[in-house]
Amino acid sequence: MEPAAQAPDSSSTISVLDTAVVRETDSVLTEGDVKAVDSAKYFTQELNFATYLITNDQYNDAKVLLSKIESESISATPDQRDSITYMRGWISYFNRDFNEAIRVLSRVNGNTAIGVQSNFYEAICFVYLTEFDSAKRILADIQLDSGTLLSDLRYLQYASIALLERDYSAYDSVAKHLERTYFEFSTEEQNMSTYHEQLSTYKRKSPFIAGGLSALFPGVGKFYAGYRGTPFGTMYLSLPLAAVAIEAAIIAGLLSPQFIILGSLFGIFYIGNIWGSALSVYSIKKEIYDEIDRNILYDMHIPLRRVFWQ
């Protein structure tokens, strides 16, 4: 799964503006050189401010600023233009417009440090769209040295995708690389092990037992399925309705309109409770899995912020 390719050492945290830094020299500058340095400083300052706006969730202001910078980017360096594009992709990602984020991020030069960052964000966008094969393809195409921070970060993303796909054999093959070497995502690597255990060992309850228990006593089937609050609500609704129907039968008789109406209501509610208890074993499984999936996605996202925002 790990591509055998070489790239610049990525073992330290990368900033989006590392490639846009102005370097001073001791040589005599021509007028054209001075203009180039001034231009580079201008774009660096504007990109720094755009980063500030994004990190403070001022996405609309950042979008306006980036549009302005992009319109002037003819005098920017290629790395600075990539930074502008990358940050526009950031905004779409944070606004959960994942299709637009993919479209923008794919325009960043993938052979640069900022292109690597862009690829990681592009991959997670595909994950949010549940296009897992595309996400894995993007990650596999990133050229990284083995044993670096970003290489381990990629393994974390692979492991997360395997869990989202419920592909436990794929997870097992990747999990051996989650060695918790880097503090930036060691906690998330540990969390993946917990999620794997929760998902792989979860045993769905029997819908037949749940329905049978609710037939004996309303609400017990949902308690068996795993719900703790709703069963008591079901009891409180069912028992008084049954008592009123029985009272109507005793007072007015089994053929009375009162008993027919109340008995029918209780029968509908009783059968519905049995059916609902049987279905509850499926719904609670979905709720548990959905909660774990949300945690997995969160633990994929947070390391990207830690690694690429510092």
Residue pair 245/262 in contact (Cβ under 8 Å)? The answer is: yes
* Alpha-carbon distances, residue 282 vs 269, 277, 291 (angstroms): 20, 10, 14
Residue pair 120/93 in contact (Cβ under 8 Å)? The answer is: no
What pLDDT does 237 receive? 67
What pLDDT does 17 receive? 46
Residue pair 248/242 in contact (Cβ under 8 Å)? The answer is: no
Residue with tokens 């109507």: 248
Least Cα distance to 177 among 164, 163, 192 occurs for 192
**Mean pLDDT for each 10-residue chunk of the chain (310 residues)?**
41 43 40 48 83 85 87 77 89 93 92 90 97 96 92 96 96 93 94 94 81 75 70 62 70 76 71 77 87 96 86
Q: Where are the alpha helices (DSSP H) in the chain?
A: 31-55, 59-71, 78-94, 98-105, 113-128, 132-141, 149-164, 168-175, 186-201, 207-216, 220-225, 230-252, 257-308
Residue pair 86/105 in contact (Cβ under 8 Å)? The answer is: yes
User: pTM higher than 0.95, yes or no?
Assistant: no
- Identify the CATH number of the domain defined by range 1-141: 1.25.40.10
Least Cα distance to 184 among 152, 140, 225, 155 occurs for 152
What pLDDT does 221 receive? 73
Least Cα distance to 134 among 83, 109, 98, 89 occurs for 98
Distance in angstroms (rounded) separating the CA atoms of residues 98 and 125 = 5
What pLDDT does 252 receive? 75
A 10 A CB-CB count for 81 gives 19
Distance in angstroms (rounded) separating the CA atoms of residues 132 and 135 = 5
φ, ψ at 57 (rounded to 5°): 65, 25
Residue pair 255/196 in contact (Cβ under 8 Å)? The answer is: no
What pLDDT does 56 receive? 85
Residue spans of the domains in the chain: they are 1-141, 146-201, 207-293
pLDDT tens figures, 11-59: 333 444 444 443 333 444 344 443 444 566 777 888 888 888 888 888 8
Residue pair 238/221 in contact (Cβ under 8 Å)? The answer is: no
Distance in angstroms (rounded) separating the CA atoms of residues 222 and 224 = 5
- Identity at 156, one-letter amino acid code: L
